[in-house]
Amino acid sequence: MTGNRAVAYKSPGHVEVIDIDYPTFELKDGPGVNPANVGRKVPHGVILRTVSTNICGSDQHMVRGRTTAPADLVLGHEITGEVVETGPDVEFIKVGDIVSVPFNISCGRCRNCKERKTGICLNVNPDRPGSAYGYVDMGGWVGGQAEYVLVPYADWNLLKFPDRAQALAKIMDLTMLSDIFPTGFHGAVSANVGVGSTVYVAGAGPVGLAAAASAHLLGAAAVIVGDLNEERLAQARSFGCETVDLRKGDPQDQIEQILGVPEVDCAVDAVGFEARGHGQAAGEERPATVLNSLMTITAAGGALGIPGLYVTGDPGGVDEAAKVGSLSIRLGLGWAKSLSFTTGQCPVMKYNRKLMMAILHDKVQIAKAVNAQAISLEDAPRGYAEFDAGKSVKYVLNPNGYVK
């Protein structure tokens, strides 16, 4: 038996590396574990030694105290690992395999999974459809910002890399397959981005940058990224995006300067419920700002992809409506323009294999696009603090020394 170290949420603004139990093939009681899941047997699971595990903007919502996450909840839903143990029901995944773990936990057996809707699996979270590692109200599956982690339904969930040496050589790109690359790609696909499209991406954090890179991969003619943070806008420009500085006001005028018209064909919301106002209201939290802005700047008949996170419970919401996820969006405008929009978790397994092949065959450099940097597990508190302060870096934790 070996030990296990992990990154845990302690209180608003505070994470800490703590000692936790080495995983077993049973879900045990602990912070955030749904009581109905306690004692759940996992003979279909594997134990991974973590190769890489990333800090995500979704984690930051919890760390800021904007959810009901309990103290000592182990964080981390972006996981890549090496299989070190397999449960008795695992048939195809073997010890020594290097694998990517979709952040959606899914059973592969329910109606939704069979329809490729793995973000809303019916069997892994007793409270509601959909689950994820290390996330509040998602069933209590222990997070992967740790040295070791349990993954259920391994034959179904895991994406095995075809060659170990190749995988480790490209690990900084491949680590993005667990969440942000498929999530950004899903946002672009949901917005109907295609050859010749003009695209606006709201938010130049890692998911927004991944959406912008995905739009390029899908053949967009022009990709425009909007943000309030100049460092993040510079990162978007580094791989060929146009940018809009939202400190100067709403994006229409700046879009018109770029395209000659104040509208785009497609738009992606990579911000979510902690959105800030534009222009003179740039310092104010206005959770409906992005959604309303996108409905204004998207051409009639267009589509919005919304991978940005919206929640049903936000203790820090700006008003009572926002605290339960009720926002004043201009649905009438969206209806009048015949806009369509897609929300919810990205079904990672719908995209991750094809995106893996794009990485392995050098069709995309996603780590470069999102400015990925590896740090030690013990350095995670610094990574969280710098990311929260707006640093344009995608922090990749390296708990077992695989990342060179």
User: Is residue 11 domain-shared with residue 157, that is, in the same domain?
Assistant: yes
For residue 271, what are the CA distances in angstroms to 61, 70, 107, 166, 314? 11, 24, 29, 33, 15
Last residue of a domain, one of 321, 342, 363: 342
Beta strands in 277-325 (DSSP E): 298-305
Taking the CB of residue 68, how many other CB atoms lie within 10 A of it? Answer: 13
For residue 329, being part of any structural domain is answered with: yes
DSSP letters for 328-360: ---HHHHHHTT-EEE-S---GGGTHHHHHHHHH
240 and 154 assigned to the same domain: no
How many angstroms separate the CA atoms of 275 and 291, rounded?
9
- Average pLDDT (130-158) is 96
Q: Residue 402 domain-assigned?
A: no
The arithmetic mean of pLDDT across residues 78-99, rounded, is: 98
Q: What is the dihedral of CA 139, 143, 149, 154, to 10 degrees?
A: 50
Does one domain contain both 40 and 103?
yes
What average pLDDT score do residues 83-112 get?
98
Question: Quick one: pLDDT band at residue 16, thresholds 50, 70, 90?
Answer: very high
Torsion over CA: 253, 255, 258, 261 (sign): negative
* pLDDT for position 94: 98
Whether residue 201 is found in the same domain as residue 335: yes
Q: Is residue 193 part of a domain?
A: yes
pLDDT in tens, 322-381: 888 889 999 999 999 999 999 999 999 999 999 999 999 999 999 999 999 999 999 999
Q: Supply the CATH number for residue 362's domain.
A: 3.90.180.10
Same domain, 296 and 358: no
- Assess if residue 45 is contained within a domain: yes
User: Are 169 and 233 in the same domain?
Assistant: no
- Structural domain includes residue 229: yes
CATH number at residue 227: 3.40.50.720
Q: What band does 281 get if pLDDT is binned at 50, 70 and 90?
A: confident
Task: Classify residue 403: in a domain, yes or no.
Answer: no
Q: What single letter denotes the amino acid at residue 339?
A: L
Which among 39, 38, 1 is positioned nearest to 21, based on CA atoms? Answer: 1
Q: How many secondary structure helices (H) and strands (E) does the chain include? A: 14, 18
Asked which of 301, 325, 342 is the last residue of a domain, the reply is: 342
Confidence check: pLDDT of 1 > 70:
no
Model pLDDT for residues 111-125, shown as the tens digit of each residue: 999 999 999 999 999
140 lies in the same domain as 247: no
216 lies in the same domain as 295 = yes
Task: Give tens-digit pLDDT for 233-244.
Answer: 999 999 999 999
116 shares a domain with 189 = no
Do the domain assignments include residue 208? yes
Q: What is the mean pLDDT of the chain?
A: 95
> What burial class does residue 365 get, using C-beta atoms within 10 Å of its C-beta: 0-12 exposed, 13-18 middle, 19+ buried?
middle
Residues belonging to the chain: 404
Give the angle subtended at the CA of 172 by the CAs of 342 and 232, to the nearest 5°: 60
Residue written as tokens 């109905």?
Answer: 36
Are 249 and 271 in a shared domain? yes
Same domain, 247 and 377: no
The answer on pLDDT for 316 being more than 70 is: yes
Per-residue model confidence as pLDDT tens digits over 385-401 = 999 999 999 999 999 99
- Same domain? For 224 and 315 the reply is yes
Into how many domains does the chain fold?
A: 2
* Residue 204 predicted with pLDDT over 90: yes
CB 163 within 8 A of CB 176: no
Note the pLDDT of residue 325.
Answer: 87
Domain that holds residue 117: 5-179+349-397
Within a domain: 404: no
